[in-house]
Amino acid sequence: MRLAIPGVEILDQTLLPRREEWLRLETVSAMREAIAELRVRGAPLLGICGAAGMALAGEERGTGEADLRTAAEELAATRPTAVELSWGVQAALEAALAGPDDPGARRGRLWRFAGAHMERRAREDLALGRYGAGLLTPGAGVLTHCNTGALATGGIGTALGVIRVAHREGRLGHCYATETRPLLQGARLTAWELARAGIPASLLPDTAAAALIASGRVQAVITGADRIAMNGDSANKIGTYGLAVVAARHEVPFYIAAPRTTIDPECGSGKQIPIEFRAAGEVGGFGNQRWSPEGLGAYNPAVDVTPGELISAIITEAGVARGPYYQSLPELLAQP
């Protein structure tokens, strides 16, 4: 994403890898559409989008407190599971209201906050990547799910950032990426990023992941997260829970890589995490091609919740937390 004041430019991820097309957004509704339709996605990037969306609100709707609060509610409700979206929105709102109510000054504060958050995210991704790479044995085969690279964060990525740093340090043997049904974020986005980075990798159907882990080729599974509860329960792309169960069965470490802003201090367990369900039309085909009968219903949750007891460690930009998470996560959040 790029700030192009008074607008925002985004790379439309729904078109990758066929073509790279940048879209200019100038309204709150345009940002909400881009988020809802997954033109932009990934929990950390959604935090940036939330902040940028508030800057757009200041330009489009004015900087009155009531107008900004209304825009904040609309933006935060667009994707309910990813806590970083609401965090970015709320933090930007607080920054706007923390000074004189002069319209020009408030608009300036909103844009400066969005820009500073983008820069901070890039620094945090690199720190997270270094912590995570240190957990891998040299020559490790690593399995990842969905897309957690630069496309999802604006920096080098979270789980994929760990893989990038491990590759650069000579610690990575091979990366395995799931296709990630039904919207193929792994096949379309992660594979695109791996190829551009020159990382040795293989793509596999989601249904082959258990057999791959059982084969002994994988020494670690690393995914991102949309929201982490204080007991370690973590919401992430649907299919993550299954990977964690199989990894535990075969004694393969399962790691979550996410910034601290993904940890929700108001959420005690995964039972409190709202689960987003998406349209039935996303299942049984892709794009304009359909291979399932018309009128058939679909069960299409966007995420599932992995219990903290299945997670070997949670990797953040401030360090690595291990169980019991109700002790280690508060300690991690308390760091400056």
Q: Per-residue pLDDT tens for 41-93?
A: 999 999 999 999 999 999 999 999 999 999 999 999 999 888 999 999 999 99
pLDDT value for 336: 86
Catalytic one among 125, 206, 226, 233?
A: 226
Spatial distance between the Cα atoms of 332 and 193, rounded to a whole number of angstroms: 30
Domain 132-334 fold: Rossmann fold (3.40.50)
pLDDT value for 141: 98
pLDDT value for 235: 97
Extents of the domains making up the chain = 2-125, 132-334
Query: Are 140 and 166 contacting, i.e. CB atoms less than 8 angstroms apart?
Result: yes
Give pLDDT tens digits for 200-255.
Answer: 999 999 999 999 999 999 999 999 999 999 999 999 999 999 999 999 999 999 99
Give pLDDT tens digits for 113-156.
Answer: 999 999 999 999 999 999 999 999 999 999 999 999 999 998 99
Tokens of 229: 């509860």
End-to-end CA distance of the chain: 27
Identify each DSSP E strand in 145-277 by its residue range: 172-178, 201-204, 220-223, 227-228, 234-237, 254-257
- Return the percentage of the chain with pLDDT > 70, whole number: 100
Spatial distance between the Cα atoms of 136 and 131, rounded to a whole number of angstroms: 10
Spatial distance between the Cα atoms of 5 and 12, rounded to a whole number of angstroms: 19
pLDDT value for 100: 87
Query: Tokens 């790479």, residue?
Result: 133
Q: Say whether 226 is catalytic.
A: yes
pLDDT value for 72: 97
Query: Tokens 């990426």, residue?
Result: 177
Spatial distance between the Cα atoms of 177 and 336, rounded to a whole number of angstroms: 34
User: What would the mean pLDDT of 14-22 be, rounded to a whole number?
Assistant: 95
Give pLDDT tens digits for 284-325.
Answer: 998 888 999 988 999 999 999 999 999 999 999 999 999 999
Spatial distance between the Cα atoms of 160 and 175, rounded to a whole number of angstroms: 9
Query: Are 193 and 153 contacting, i.e. CB atoms less than 8 angstroms apart?
Result: no
Query: Are 104 and 78 contacting, i.e. CB atoms less than 8 angstroms apart?
Result: no
Tokens of 99: 């000074």
pLDDT value for 329: 98
pLDDT value for 38: 94
Confidence of residue 96 (pLDDT cuts 50, 70, 90): very high
Query: Are 306 and 241 contacting, i.e. CB atoms less than 8 angstroms apart?
Result: yes
pLDDT value for 232: 98
Q: What number of other Cβ atoms are within 10 A of residue 203's Cβ?
A: 17
pLDDT value for 294: 86
Confidence of residue 183 (pLDDT cuts 50, 70, 90): very high
Confidence of residue 331 (pLDDT cuts 50, 70, 90): very high
pLDDT value for 101: 87
Residue 35: strand, helix, or coil: helix
Spatial distance between the Cα atoms of 38 and 180, rounded to a whole number of angstroms: 14
Spatial distance between the Cα atoms of 76 and 82, rounded to a whole number of angstroms: 9
The strand pairing partners of 236, in sequence order, are 304
pLDDT value for 247: 98
Spatial distance between the Cα atoms of 206 and 305, rounded to a whole number of angstroms: 17
Tell me which residue of 314, 282, 322 sits closest to 38, measured CA to CA.
282
Containing H/E element for 319?
strand 319-321
Spatial distance between the Cα atoms of 233 and 141, rounded to a whole number of angstroms: 25
Tokens of 53: 């969306």
The order of strands in the sheet holding 319-321 is: 201-204, 172-178, 140-144, 220-223, 254-257, 313-316, 319-321
Residue 25: strand, helix, or coil: strand
When the candidates are 3.30.70.890, 1.20.120.420, 3.30.470.20, 3.90.45.10, the CATH number that belongs to 2-125 is: 1.20.120.420
